[in-house]
Amino acid sequence: MAPSDTGVASGLVNTSQQIGGALGLAVLAAVASAATGDPALPESLTSGYTTALLAGGGLYLAALVVAAFAVTPPRTPGTVPGPVGSEGSIRIPRS
């Protein structure tokens, strides 16, 4: 990415966060509403909110698992990971 594109990338990330938060809240509100039986009863509202919070927690855990397997650390050209317990990477001289 060119340095001149950093502003566009920043705007895209911020917009995605705002839309994602609004969409996530709308989905959880719909789940809570669907799980609520009679809205006049406090127990029914609590049940709906509990269902929505558990659904949100499940989605969070699913995202955590996807991130754990999908995100890889960046590799620097010319280095390989060091042995377990060592610090840093081993530098490979270029020929």
Residue 5 pLDDT level (bands cut at 50, 70, 90) = confident
Regarding beta strands 89-91 and 79-81, do their DSSP bridges make them parallel or antiparallel, or are they unpaired? antiparallel
Is 94 in contact with 78 (CB distance < 8 Å)? yes
pLDDT digits (tens, 9 = 90+) for 43-87: 999 999 999 999 999 999 999 999 999 988 776 666 666 565 556
Is 36 in contact with 48 (CB distance < 8 Å)? yes
pLDDT of residue 2: 77
Q: How far is CA 82 from CA 72, 78, 90, 91, in A?
A: 16, 13, 6, 9
Helices in the chain by DSSP H: which ranges?
6-35, 42-70
pLDDT of residue 78: 62
What pTM was estimated for this model as a whole? 0.64
pLDDT digits (tens, 9 = 90+) for 23-42: 999 999 999 999 998 888 99
